[in-house]
Amino acid sequence: MAKGDKESFRFIANALGYKMHRTAIKILGSSHFEDADDVVQISLIKVWQTAPRWKNKGSVEGYIYKIVFSTCMDFIRKYKNAEEFKDNYFNLEILDNINNTNELRKMLLKKIQKLSKEQQEAILLHYFSGYKQKEVSNILKKSEKATESLIIRARKKLKTILPKDILEEFLHV
């Protein structure tokens, strides 16, 4: 793919497209299914455009998830106050709960960005994409012990900068 092979790109897009979409939904919220479609498309364009500069320092899958994460964050920043980003609910109480959840998610993602790049990847893959620790190890090309240590250090740091209820809701800590 880094050499411009379109078949390789199609293979990767087909193999990871569903997981990319699932990750985007987890970051944006389940009520933003169509927005997640847009994020995946933008992410795939970024993957294709940046492929020639990719350095083999980790897995392609981990690299792609970084792009999905950053594209989601760009999307949230761009539309955070736009009415079109908010769903239309008939029950105002439901709307308040959804907005609070979205605000919590935004705060969590902002705090995750304060972690090291490796810790961000590990947290994103494990908690947002639902990979088991062993799978995260394979994606990041690290030992299981090193991955466990990354996740533990990231959680410890997040515990110092996040309220307990957010940790429990999103990271099941």
pLDDT band at 167 (very low <50, low <70, confident <90, very high): low
Residues 43, 112, 108, 106, CA torsion sign: negative
**Whether the predicted pLDDT of 43 surpasses 90:** yes
pLDDT tens for each residue of 91-130:
223 334 444 566 666 777 778 888 888 888 888 888 777 7
Question: Comparing C-alpha atoms, which of 45, 36, 90 is closest to residue 67?
Answer: 45
Start-to-end CA span in the chain (Å):
38
Q: pLDDT higher for 88 or 132?
A: 132
User: How would residue 10 be classed by pLDDT, with cut points 50, 70 and 90?
Assistant: very high
Q: Report the distance separating Cα 55 and Cα 150, nearest Å.
A: 21
Which is it for the CA torsion 109, 16, 62, 130, positive or negative?
positive
User: What are the residues whose beta carbons fall under 8 Å from the beta carbon of 95, sequence distance 6 or more?
Assistant: 86, 87, 89
**3-state SS class at 106:** helix
Which is higher by pLDDT, 108 or 89? Answer: 108
Domain chopping of the chain, boundaries: 6-171
Q: Tell if the pTM clears 0.75, that is, is over it.
A: no
Percent of the chain with pLDDT over 70: 76
* In the chain, alpha helices (H): 6-28, 33-50, 60-79, 92-112, 117-123, 133-140, 144-161, 164-171
Tokens read off for 152? 């533990």
Report pLDDT for 28.
81
